[in-house]
Amino acid sequence: MTTAPALFPAIDILGGRCVRLLQGDYGQETVYGNDPAAQARAFQDAGATWVHVVDLDAARTGDPVNRQVVAEVAATLDVPVQAGGGVRTLDDARTLFDAGVSRVVMGTAAIEDPELVDQVADLGRVAVGLDIRGEEVAVRGWTEGTGLLLTDAFERFSNRGTDAFVITQIERDGTLQGPDLEGLAAALATTGVDVVASGGVGRPSDLKDLADLAVAGRRLAGIILGRALYEGTIDLAAAIQTLKER
Protein backbone atom coordinates (compact mmCIF):
# COMPACT_ATOMS: atom_id res chain seq x y z
CA MET A 1 0.00 0.00 0.00
CA THR A 2 1.44 3.34 -1.02
CA THR A 3 1.61 6.24 1.38
CA ALA A 4 -0.86 9.03 0.69
CA PRO A 5 0.55 12.53 0.20
CA ALA A 6 0.62 14.63 3.35
CA LEU A 7 -1.73 17.61 3.32
CA PHE A 8 -0.11 20.94 4.13
CA PRO A 9 -2.74 23.55 5.07
CA ALA A 10 -1.25 26.92 4.27
CA ILE A 11 -1.07 30.12 6.27
CA ASP A 12 0.12 33.07 4.21
CA ILE A 13 1.01 36.05 6.39
CA LEU A 14 0.90 39.65 5.20
CA GLY A 15 1.07 42.42 7.75
CA GLY A 16 0.53 39.88 10.52
CA ARG A 17 -2.77 38.65 9.07
CA CYS A 18 -3.84 35.46 7.30
CA VAL A 19 -4.37 36.28 3.63
CA ARG A 20 -4.50 34.67 0.20
CA LEU A 21 -3.32 36.27 -3.01
CA LEU A 22 -4.74 35.54 -6.45
CA GLN A 23 -2.00 34.28 -8.78
CA GLY A 24 0.61 35.87 -6.55
CA ASP A 25 -0.75 39.37 -7.12
CA TYR A 26 -0.27 41.51 -4.02
CA GLY A 27 -2.98 43.79 -5.36
CA GLN A 28 -5.51 40.94 -5.18
CA GLU A 29 -5.44 40.12 -1.49
CA THR A 30 -8.21 38.49 0.56
CA VAL A 31 -7.91 38.65 4.36
CA TYR A 32 -9.13 35.57 6.22
CA GLY A 33 -8.14 36.33 9.80
CA ASN A 34 -5.99 38.27 12.22
CA ASP A 35 -4.61 35.37 14.29
CA PRO A 36 -2.34 33.02 12.33
CA ALA A 37 -1.50 30.97 15.44
CA ALA A 38 -5.18 30.28 16.12
CA GLN A 39 -5.66 29.27 12.49
CA ALA A 40 -2.70 26.90 12.77
CA ARG A 41 -4.19 25.29 15.88
CA ALA A 42 -7.48 24.78 14.04
CA PHE A 43 -5.62 23.01 11.24
CA GLN A 44 -3.85 20.77 13.73
CA ASP A 45 -7.14 20.01 15.49
CA ALA A 46 -8.56 18.94 12.12
CA GLY A 47 -5.82 16.35 11.80
CA ALA A 48 -3.08 18.11 9.85
CA THR A 49 0.32 16.48 10.20
CA TRP A 50 2.13 19.54 8.77
CA VAL A 51 1.39 23.26 8.50
CA HIS A 52 2.86 25.38 5.70
CA VAL A 53 3.60 29.04 6.50
CA VAL A 54 4.72 31.80 4.14
CA ASP A 55 5.85 35.30 5.10
CA LEU A 56 4.56 37.23 2.08
CA ASP A 57 6.08 40.52 3.21
CA ALA A 58 9.52 38.93 3.40
CA ALA A 59 9.01 37.10 0.10
CA ARG A 60 8.49 40.40 -1.67
CA THR A 61 11.03 42.61 0.09
CA GLY A 62 13.35 40.32 2.06
CA ASP A 63 12.39 42.18 5.26
CA PRO A 64 11.34 39.48 7.78
CA VAL A 65 8.64 41.54 9.47
CA ASN A 66 6.51 38.51 10.33
CA ARG A 67 9.21 36.28 11.83
CA GLN A 68 7.71 36.62 15.32
CA VAL A 69 4.32 35.56 13.99
CA VAL A 70 5.90 32.52 12.35
CA ALA A 71 7.58 31.69 15.66
CA GLU A 72 4.24 31.93 17.45
CA VAL A 73 2.70 29.50 14.95
CA ALA A 74 5.54 27.00 15.45
CA ALA A 75 5.35 27.35 19.23
CA THR A 76 1.62 26.67 19.38
CA LEU A 77 1.74 23.42 17.40
CA ASP A 78 2.71 19.82 18.12
CA VAL A 79 3.08 19.04 14.39
CA PRO A 80 5.96 20.18 12.18
CA VAL A 81 5.94 23.53 10.41
CA GLN A 82 7.32 24.16 6.94
CA ALA A 83 8.05 27.86 6.51
CA GLY A 84 9.42 30.16 3.85
CA GLY A 85 9.22 33.61 2.40
CA GLY A 86 12.23 35.89 2.27
CA VAL A 87 14.78 33.34 3.47
CA ARG A 88 17.69 35.11 1.82
CA THR A 89 20.61 34.23 4.12
CA LEU A 90 21.94 31.50 6.37
CA ASP A 91 20.97 33.63 9.37
CA ASP A 92 17.39 33.88 8.10
CA ALA A 93 17.20 30.09 7.98
CA ARG A 94 18.86 29.72 11.37
CA THR A 95 16.31 32.10 12.89
CA LEU A 96 13.45 29.97 11.60
CA PHE A 97 15.01 26.72 12.79
CA ASP A 98 15.64 28.31 16.20
CA ALA A 99 11.97 29.35 16.27
CA GLY A 100 10.92 25.72 15.92
CA VAL A 101 10.40 25.45 12.16
CA SER A 102 11.07 21.88 10.96
CA ARG A 103 11.72 22.58 7.28
CA VAL A 104 12.73 25.88 5.71
CA VAL A 105 11.65 26.72 2.16
CA MET A 106 14.08 28.74 0.07
CA GLY A 107 13.17 30.28 -3.27
CA THR A 108 14.91 33.42 -4.46
CA ALA A 109 18.12 32.88 -2.49
CA ALA A 110 18.43 29.28 -3.66
CA ILE A 111 18.12 30.32 -7.31
CA GLU A 112 20.67 33.11 -6.90
CA ASP A 113 23.11 31.14 -4.70
CA PRO A 114 22.62 27.36 -5.00
CA GLU A 115 25.44 26.63 -2.55
CA LEU A 116 23.35 28.28 0.15
CA VAL A 117 21.03 25.26 -0.01
CA ASP A 118 23.87 23.02 1.14
CA GLN A 119 24.75 25.42 3.94
CA VAL A 120 21.17 25.57 5.18
CA ALA A 121 20.92 21.77 4.92
CA ASP A 122 23.74 21.58 7.46
CA LEU A 123 21.40 23.33 9.93
CA GLY A 124 18.19 21.41 9.17
CA ARG A 125 15.78 20.26 6.50
CA VAL A 126 15.50 22.56 3.49
CA ALA A 127 13.01 22.59 0.64
CA VAL A 128 13.60 24.50 -2.58
CA GLY A 129 10.54 26.46 -3.62
CA LEU A 130 10.14 26.52 -7.39
CA ASP A 131 7.45 29.01 -8.34
CA ILE A 132 6.62 28.53 -11.99
CA ARG A 133 5.04 30.89 -14.51
CA GLY A 134 4.72 28.91 -17.73
CA GLU A 135 7.91 26.86 -17.54
CA GLU A 136 10.04 29.63 -16.04
CA VAL A 137 11.01 29.92 -12.37
CA ALA A 138 9.98 33.25 -10.80
CA VAL A 139 11.53 34.91 -7.74
CA ARG A 140 11.05 37.81 -5.29
CA GLY A 141 7.49 36.98 -4.36
CA TRP A 142 6.72 35.92 -7.94
CA THR A 143 7.44 39.42 -9.22
CA GLU A 144 10.52 38.66 -11.37
CA GLY A 145 11.36 36.03 -13.97
CA THR A 146 14.74 34.27 -13.95
CA GLY A 147 15.09 32.66 -17.36
CA LEU A 148 15.62 29.37 -15.49
CA LEU A 149 13.42 26.50 -16.65
CA LEU A 150 11.95 24.01 -14.21
CA THR A 151 13.91 21.11 -15.67
CA ASP A 152 17.14 23.05 -15.27
CA ALA A 153 16.24 23.81 -11.66
CA PHE A 154 15.82 20.11 -10.94
CA GLU A 155 19.25 19.45 -12.40
CA ARG A 156 20.74 22.24 -10.32
CA PHE A 157 19.26 21.22 -6.96
CA SER A 158 18.50 17.50 -6.96
CA ASN A 159 22.03 16.57 -5.94
CA ARG A 160 22.34 19.18 -3.23
CA GLY A 161 20.97 18.99 0.31
CA THR A 162 17.41 19.41 -0.95
CA ASP A 163 14.87 17.59 1.22
CA ALA A 164 11.93 18.44 -1.06
CA PHE A 165 10.80 20.62 -3.94
CA VAL A 166 7.72 22.78 -3.37
CA ILE A 167 6.34 23.42 -6.85
CA THR A 168 3.81 26.20 -7.28
CA GLN A 169 2.08 26.94 -10.58
CA ILE A 170 1.55 30.69 -10.24
CA GLU A 171 -1.21 30.94 -12.85
CA ARG A 172 -3.26 28.40 -10.90
CA ASP A 173 -2.52 29.60 -7.38
CA GLY A 174 -5.61 30.83 -5.60
CA THR A 175 -7.85 30.11 -8.58
CA LEU A 176 -9.42 26.82 -7.35
CA GLN A 177 -9.36 25.73 -11.01
CA GLY A 178 -7.41 22.51 -10.52
CA PRO A 179 -3.74 21.55 -10.28
CA ASP A 180 -1.27 21.12 -13.13
CA LEU A 181 -1.26 17.32 -13.22
CA GLU A 182 0.80 17.13 -16.39
CA GLY A 183 3.52 19.38 -15.03
CA LEU A 184 3.63 17.55 -11.71
CA ALA A 185 3.87 14.20 -13.48
CA ALA A 186 6.84 15.55 -15.42
CA ALA A 187 8.42 16.66 -12.14
CA LEU A 188 8.04 13.20 -10.63
CA ALA A 189 9.65 11.73 -13.73
CA THR A 190 12.57 14.15 -13.63
CA THR A 191 13.72 14.26 -10.01
CA GLY A 192 14.10 11.65 -7.30
CA VAL A 193 13.63 14.30 -4.59
CA ASP A 194 10.25 14.52 -2.82
CA VAL A 195 7.76 16.76 -4.64
CA VAL A 196 5.16 18.86 -2.82
CA ALA A 197 2.45 20.30 -5.06
CA SER A 198 0.96 23.75 -4.63
CA GLY A 199 -1.59 25.76 -6.57
CA GLY A 200 -5.05 25.27 -8.00
CA VAL A 201 -6.61 22.71 -5.66
CA GLY A 202 -10.26 23.64 -5.39
CA ARG A 203 -12.35 20.54 -4.70
CA PRO A 204 -12.01 17.03 -3.25
CA SER A 205 -11.66 15.47 -6.70
CA ASP A 206 -8.48 17.53 -7.23
CA LEU A 207 -7.00 15.91 -4.14
CA LYS A 208 -7.90 12.46 -5.40
CA ASP A 209 -6.30 13.22 -8.76
CA LEU A 210 -3.11 14.34 -7.03
CA ALA A 211 -3.07 11.38 -4.64
CA ASP A 212 -3.44 8.99 -7.58
CA LEU A 213 -0.72 10.65 -9.66
CA ALA A 214 2.16 8.20 -10.09
CA VAL A 215 5.16 7.99 -12.39
CA ALA A 216 7.34 4.87 -12.29
CA GLY A 217 6.11 4.18 -8.78
CA ARG A 218 6.82 7.72 -7.52
CA ARG A 219 4.03 9.76 -5.99
CA LEU A 220 3.69 13.23 -4.54
CA ALA A 221 5.03 13.61 -1.02
CA GLY A 222 2.64 16.42 -0.17
CA ILE A 223 -0.13 18.76 -1.28
CA ILE A 224 -0.45 22.36 -0.12
CA LEU A 225 -3.99 23.59 0.45
CA GLY A 226 -4.83 27.26 0.68
CA ARG A 227 -7.86 29.13 -0.60
CA ALA A 228 -9.98 25.95 -0.84
CA LEU A 229 -9.81 25.58 2.94
CA TYR A 230 -10.63 29.21 3.64
CA GLU A 231 -13.47 29.31 1.12
CA GLY A 232 -14.87 26.00 2.39
CA THR A 233 -14.71 24.10 -0.89
CA ILE A 234 -12.57 21.48 0.85
CA ASP A 235 -12.98 20.32 4.45
CA LEU A 236 -9.54 19.52 5.88
CA ALA A 237 -10.59 16.76 8.28
CA ALA A 238 -12.65 15.03 5.60
CA ALA A 239 -9.85 15.37 3.06
CA ILE A 240 -7.29 13.85 5.42
CA GLN A 241 -9.59 10.90 6.10
CA THR A 242 -10.31 10.39 2.41
CA LEU A 243 -6.63 10.25 1.53
CA LYS A 244 -5.93 7.80 4.36
CA GLU A 245 -8.51 5.46 2.87
CA ARG A 246 -7.06 5.52 -0.65
Check if 55 is active-site. Answer: no
C-alpha–C-alpha distance, residues 193 and 161, integer Å:
10
C-alpha–C-alpha distance, residues 85 and 62, integer Å:
8
Exposed (0-12), middle (13-18) or buried (19+): which is 51, by Cβ within 10 Å?
A: buried
Q: What is the three-state SS of 133-163?
A: ECCEEEECCCCEEEEEEHHHHHHHHCCCCEE
**Could you tell me if 57 and 86 are in contact, meaning their C-beta atoms sit under 8 angstroms apart?**
yes
- What are the angstrom distances between the C-alpha of 109 and each of 59, 62, 84? 10, 10, 11
**Does residue 195 sit in helix, strand or coil?**
strand
C-alpha–C-alpha distance, residues 236 and 239, integer Å:
5
Check 55, 131, 163, 180 and give the catalytic one.
131
What single letter denotes the amino acid at residue 89? T
Check 12, 55, 163, 194 and give the catalytic one.
12
Listed residue (51, 105, 97) closest to 78, CA to CA: 51
Check if 12 is active-site. Answer: yes
Residues catalogued as catalytic: 12, 131
